Amino acid sequence: MSTNTKSLFLDADTNSNTKHSTLYRLMMSLTSLCIPGLGQIACGRLQRGFLQIGAYLVCLSIFLQVRLMEYPFFGIAVVSMMALIRLYSAFDAYKISRYKNIELQTFRRWTYVLISSLCVLLLQAALLSVAEYRTCSVRGNLLYPTLHDHEILMTKRGHTQNNRSDLVTFHPVSEEDANTLYLGRIVAVEGDVVSLKNGNIWLNNQAVNEPYVYKKSNSFMQPINLAPVTVPAGYVFILGDNRYGFISSSYGLVPSERIEGQILYILFSPTLRRAGLRV
């Protein structure tokens, strides 16, 4: 068989001198799991690698730009497709890295890898910076039973209309937590007089029906009470749904400009039946 013919069937070459080690193949697989297509480029399969990178970036852009509030299950389907692309690319990289590709010099090959990885990372950063939707996770039980600990949420950035009962993400006023993202529910807007009696909201001297509030009995912690407070202009009053114990200093009166976005639905939950629920 001639050299040219042999190079076309390189994957079928059984010469042990051209084989990569299992460790190398695992490294290529892990590389493609992190950035789909990068392991293929490192193996000298440029067209194959760029095709997988392109497919992943297309799915990522769709996921970030689609109106997930109206089509939540479509968003979950796109996320599943992105995961499948990663898994396929990892398997494919492990498979094709079995034999060395002698058609592309090592220096040129790793130059392509470096340039491709930088381009992919920059494109991902650019897409995330302009994305209207983001994800965040729940830590603690302050919003229980509406939201459970360790759930992953989909949020919409740029929330400008602050309505009562909205679940929002915000940055607290306190300097030590200024860069931390908190979750809470708007219970009062500017001009409202709000108070808490046994954990229940009273708004403008009238009790508010809140079916989402945690009703807890036989507890060592007492429900929260709060004297009437008038919400000034440019502020909202934010609390959790679990109102036993005490109110953190990060909650209460929060400037409207500190609100980052609105919580839309549960993307993932340890309790699988809750995944995809609107909140």
| Residue of 157 and 129 predicted with greater confidence | 157
Residue 246 is predicted with a pLDDT of 66
How many Cβ atoms are within 10 Å of 104's Cβ, its own excluded? 14
Q: What DSSP letter does each residue of 176-225 carry, written as one string?
A: GGTTS-EEEEEEE-TT-EEEEETTEEEETTEE---TTS----S-SSPBP-
Residue 20 has pLDDT above 50, yes or no: yes
Exposure string (b/e) for 158-194, b if CB count within 10 Å is 16 or more? ebeebebebbbbbbbeeeeeeeebbbbbbbbbeebeb
Q: What is the pLDDT of residues 195-208, one digit of tens each?
A: 998 888 999 999 99
- What 8-state DSSP symbol labels residue 91? H
Every domain of the chain with CATH number 2.10.109.10 lies at: 134-274
What's the mean pLDDT in 147-163? 86
pTM: 0.60
Query: Which two three-digit tokens encode residue 11?
Result: 């994957």
| Residue of 194 and 277 predicted with greater confidence | 194
Of 8-17, 21-30, 73-82, 125-134, where does mean pLDDT reach its minimum? 8-17
Q: What is the pLDDT of residues 55-90, one digit of tens each?
A: 988 888 777 666 554 566 777 788 889 999 999 999
Measured CA to CA, the distance from residue 207 to residue 184 in angstroms comes to: 20
What's the mean pLDDT in 150-171? 87
Q: Under CATH, to which class is 134-274 assigned?
A: mainly beta
Measured CA to CA, the distance from residue 77 to residue 62 in angstroms comes to: 11
